[in-house]
Amino acid sequence: MLAYLARRMLLAAITIWAITAVTFIILKLPPVDFVDAYVAQASASGASISAAEAEALRAAYGLNEPYIVQYLKWLNLVAHGDFGRSFEYGRPVTEVIGDRLWLTVLLSLGAITVTWTLALPIGIYSAVRQYSVGDYIFTFVGFIGLAVPSFLLALIVMYFGLRFFNMSVGGLFSSDFALAPWSWAKVWDLIKHLPVPMLILALPGIAQLVRIMRANLLDELRRPYVMTARARGLPERRVILKYPVRAALNPFASTIGYLLPYTVSGSIIISIVLSLPTVGPLLLRSLISQDMLLASTTILMLGILTVIGTLVSDLLLMWIDPRIRLGQLK
């Protein structure tokens, strides 16, 4: 068990390192380096930046030195919580990102909760009542969920919401609250706005997990231990919920590791379409205006949070599977 734990931790550490490397590459990709972009931006908006100031920035990021030194300098700054300034907003990057990161986390975790609470019972139902009308309906909805790209789904929902219900599904806050400081009323406003984007975000995951759960459970239902449980005189409901569902949950639980990155990715896209105040629109905007410190910090933070989330889900998996706990499975 300890070996498993250590292995997971090490993998997470390597993954985080890989993310910093890729983030750095993205930071350096634009042909114009970010200090020049900053200077150009500033002079275009009328403010001017002294040559000394620009030079200080260059020195801090080691822009005149080899890439490896630049990477290490940047890594050192980031490790100390200094993510630099957004050139477009003229404020520290962390301040610009602010609440948006937590709203992204909230939206993603909410969507994952919805995914699990819906996918589990639907998957069980579809397997136990294979080829029933309900099974066919869920399979059909599942295929739609798989086939419609999330931005398209958001677009279609938005269009139909406006057309037939005269309801705007965009945003996470009403206009009264968008800029207001946090209060209970604002939280309540957020809760009212969350379900629709959460469902849109959850649908592809639900479709996928229902398929996995249904297939797993159909496999498990054929196993002899189900027959022996039945032969002991257990009621059918308990036979299914205690044994095969428990076994089918296992491969299911390991998909959560992939569900999180998938959902975070999805949240970026649907946030852009539905103009939700998450990091999604911010990332797109910063990428288009080549505000690279803001963009790379966003990518870095999303990546690291996802890795942490995946690690937590792995620990969860270890807790529910006795075979891993007792060191039978590597």
Partner 1 sequence: MSEAVAENRVAVATQRQLIWWRFRKHKLALISAGIVLAFYLVAAFADSIAYTEPFDTQAARSYIPPQPIRWFDANGNFHPQVFALKGKRDPRTFKLAYAPDPNEPRDVVLFAHGYGYKLFGLFPTDRHLLGVSDGKPQDALFLLGTDQLGRDVFSRLVLATQTSLTIGLVGVAMSLLLGVLLGGISGLHGGWLDLGIQRLIEILRSIPTIPLWMGLAAAVPNTWSSQRVYFAITIIISLIGWTELARVVRGRFLALREEDFITAAELCGASRLRIIFKHMVPSFLSHIIAAVSLALPAMIISETTLSFLGLGLRPPAISWGVLLQDAQNLQTLGLAPWLLVVALPVIVVILAFNFLGDGLRDAADPYG
Partner 2 sequence: MADPILSVRDLHTHFFADEGVVRAVDGTSFDLFAGQTLGIVGESGCGKSVTARSILRIVDRPGRIVSGEILLRRADGSVTDMVKLPADSREARAIRGGEIGLVFQEPMSSLSAFHTIGNQLIEAIRLHASLSKKQARARAIELLAMVGIPRPEQRVDAYSFELSGGLRQRVMVALALAGEPRILIADEPTTALDVTTQAQILELIRSLQRERDLAVILITHDMGVIAEMADDVVVMYLGKEVEKGPVDAIFHAPNHPYTRALLRSIPSILAEPREKLATIAGSIPHPFARPNGCPFHPRCSETLPGVCDTQVPATVQIGERQAAACHLLSGKTA
By the criterion CB under 8 A, which residues form the site for partner 2? Answer: 223-225, 227-236, 242-243, 246-247, 250, 321-323, 326, 328
Q: Identify residues 125-164 at the interface with partner 1 (CB under 8 A).
A: 143-144, 146-152, 155-156, 158-159, 162-163
- Interacting partner of 264 out of partner 2, partner 1, none (Cβ under 5 to 8 A depending on kind): partner 1
Residue 181 DSSP one-character state: P
What length is written for the chain? 330
CB 288 within 8 A of CB 88: no
Tokens matching residue 181: 């400081």
Helices (H), 45-149: 51-61, 67-79, 93-128, 133-147
Q: Which is nearer to partner 1, 78 or 284 (CB)?
A: 284
Binder among 4, 5, 26, 42 for partner 1 (CB under 8 A): 26
Token pair 């300034």 is at which residue?
A: 85
Token pair 């905007």 is at which residue?
A: 285
- Interacting partner of 326 out of partner 2, partner 1, none (Cβ under 5 to 8 A depending on kind): partner 2
Q: Which is nearer to partner 1, 164 or 184 (CB)?
A: 164
Tokens matching residue 37: 């972009």
What's the CA gap between 305 and 156, in Å, rounded?
A: 30
CB 127 within 8 A of CB 211: no
Q: Which is nearer to partner 2, 247 or 293 (CB)?
A: 247
| Closest separation in Å from C-beta 157 to partner 2 | 39
Q: How many CB atoms lie within 10 A of CB 92?
A: 17
Binder among 1, 9, 29, 56 for partner 1 (CB under 8 A): 29
Q: Which helix (H) or strand (E) holds 86?
A: strand 85-86
Q: Which is nearer to partner 1, 61 or 243 (CB)?
A: 61
What's the CA gap between 209 and 195, in Å, rounded?
A: 20
Q: Identify residues 156-215 at the interface with partner 1 (CB under 8 A).
A: 156, 158-159, 162-163
Cβ-count burial 222-245 (b if 16+ within 10 Å, e if not) = eeeebeebeeeeeeeeebbeebbb
- Interacting partner of 223 out of partner 1, partner 2, none (Cβ under 5 to 8 A depending on kind): partner 2
* Residue 272 near partner 1 by CB under 8 A: yes
Q: What is the CA radius of gyration of the chain?
A: 24
Of the CA atoms within 13 Å of residue 325, those in its CB half-sphere come to 8
Please return the burial class of 29, using the count of CB atoms within 10 Å of its CB with bins 0-12, 13-18 and 19+. Answer: exposed
Binder among 273, 276, 294, 317 for partner 1 (CB under 8 A): 273
| Closest separation in Å from C-beta 8 to partner 2 | 21
* Among the residue ranges 38-46, 113-121, 237-245, 253-261, the one whose residues contact partner 1 (CB under 8 A): 253-261
| Closest separation in Å from C-beta 242 to partner 2 | 8
Strand partners, 86: 91
CB 187 within 8 A of CB 173: no
Binder among 266, 277, 293, 294 for partner 1 (CB under 8 A): 266
Binder among 98, 254, 261, 321 for partner 1 (CB under 8 A): 261
- Interacting partner of 241 out of partner 1, partner 2, none (Cβ under 5 to 8 A depending on kind): none
Binder among 39, 41, 262, 317 for partner 1 (CB under 8 A): 262
* Residue 233 near partner 1 by CB under 8 A: no
Contacts with partner 1 by CB under 8 A lie at 11, 14-15, 18-19, 22-23, 26, 29-31, 143-144, 146-152, 155-156, 158-159, 162-163, 257-258, 260-262, 264-266, 268-269, 272-273, 283-284, 287-288, 290, 295-296, 298-299, 302-303, 306-307, 310
